[in-house]
Structure 1
Amino acid sequence: MKVFRLSKKKYAEEFNGKGASKSGNRWNSKGTEIIYTAESRALAMAEILVHLSLATLPKDFVMMTIHIPDSINIKEINPKTLPKNWNHHPPNSRTQKIGDAFIDSRDFCILKVPSAVVQGDFNYLINPFHKDFKKIKISEITDFPFDERIFK
């Protein structure tokens, strides 16, 4: 399976979850290392765009294509089991606890979660501490300039 991650160029090689741990996000608390990826390039872009404006639009983003072997088991979160308002901003601490428990348990390397940005699409969270993490490879990194019409 291929998943995608949009990253600033200088962090593209740092495939470790440390960036997410600095502030915490929807699926992790501050201090919990986790890697966020998306099922498509478009979703990866949408997940980043909700945090940007034309004034802060970076020029140095790259799209990472990541290969997850079919042999790696994926745990799925059923959106119907999530707490009310799970997708509101700022993130709900209950969704952060789900991601933290996923990392701590190390039962699965991949957690499939619904996107809060694009209803019906999914993100794939990667546990960098799971034994199968070493099997996951970045297969391509390409420049990804944003089209400035997005903010017009």
Structure 2
Amino acid sequence: MIVYRLSRGPYKNDLSGKGAELAGGRWNSKGTALLYTSESIALCTVEIAVHMPLGIIPKDYFLVKIDIPDNTSMKELSEAELPADWKSFPHANSTQMIGDAFVQEYEHLVLKVPSATVQGNYNYLLNPRHQDFRQVRIVETVLFEFDKRLFVKD
């Protein structure tokens, strides 16, 4: 399975989940490493855009194409299984608890979750401490140029 992420230049080859571990995110609290990826390039773009202030066009980003073995263990969560506040902004502690528990259980390499930004799309969260993580490979890394229209207002 191929998944995607957008990373700043210095971190384009870093799959450690360290950034999420330091900052926390929708699906993990600070101190828990988790690698955020998306099912499509378009979803990656939106996920970056919603976190950027208007008028700031992201620079020095690379599109990272990642291969996850097809036989990998995956846990999938549907919207019906998630707490009512799962899409809230700022993100809720309830979703962080779900991601933290996923990492601590070590049962699955991948957690498939609905995107909070694009209905009907999915993000794939990878546990970098899972025993099968060493099979995850970067297939390609290319400089990514964002369309300026996503970040400027008329």
TM-score tier (shorter): over 0.9
In structure 1, what is the equivalent of residue 82 of structure 2? Answer: 82
Q: Does 1:25 align with 2:25?
A: yes
126-135 or 69-78, larger mean C-alpha shift: 69-78
In structure 2, what is the equivalent of residue 108 of structure 1? Answer: 108
Q: Which amino acid aligns with 1:23?
A: A
| TM-score normalized with structure 1 length | 0.96
In structure 1, what is the equivalent of residue 60 of structure 2? Answer: 60
| TM-score normalized with structure 2 length | 0.95
Cα RMSD of the aligned pairs, angstroms, is: 1.0
66-75 or 32-41, larger mean C-alpha shift: 66-75
Distance 1:62 1:79 in 2: 30
The number of residues matched between the two structures is 152
Which structure 1 residue ranges, 5 or more long, are not aligned? none
* Alpha-carbon shift at residue 122 of structure 1 (Å): 0.2
Q: 1:8-19 residue pairs with structure 2 within 5 A? A: 8-19=8-19
Whether contact under 8 Å (1:26, 1:96) holds in the other structure is: yes
In structure 1, what is the equivalent of residue 44 of structure 2? Answer: 44
Q: 1:90-129 residue pairs with structure 2 within 5 A? A: 90-129=90-129
* Alpha-carbon shift at residue 54 of structure 1 (Å): 4.7
Moved over 6 A (4+): none
| 1:51-84 deviation digits (Å, cap 9, x = unpaired) | 1135432220000000011110211012101111
Whether contact under 8 Å (1:27, 1:98) holds in the other structure is: yes
Whether contact under 8 Å (1:54, 1:148) holds in the other structure is: no
Which structure 2 residue ranges, 5 or more long, are not aligned? none
| 1:66-108 deviation digits (Å, cap 9, x = unpaired) | 0011110211012101111210111111100000001001000
Percent of aligned pairs with the same amino acid? 48
Secondary structure, counterpart of 1:119 in structure 2: coil
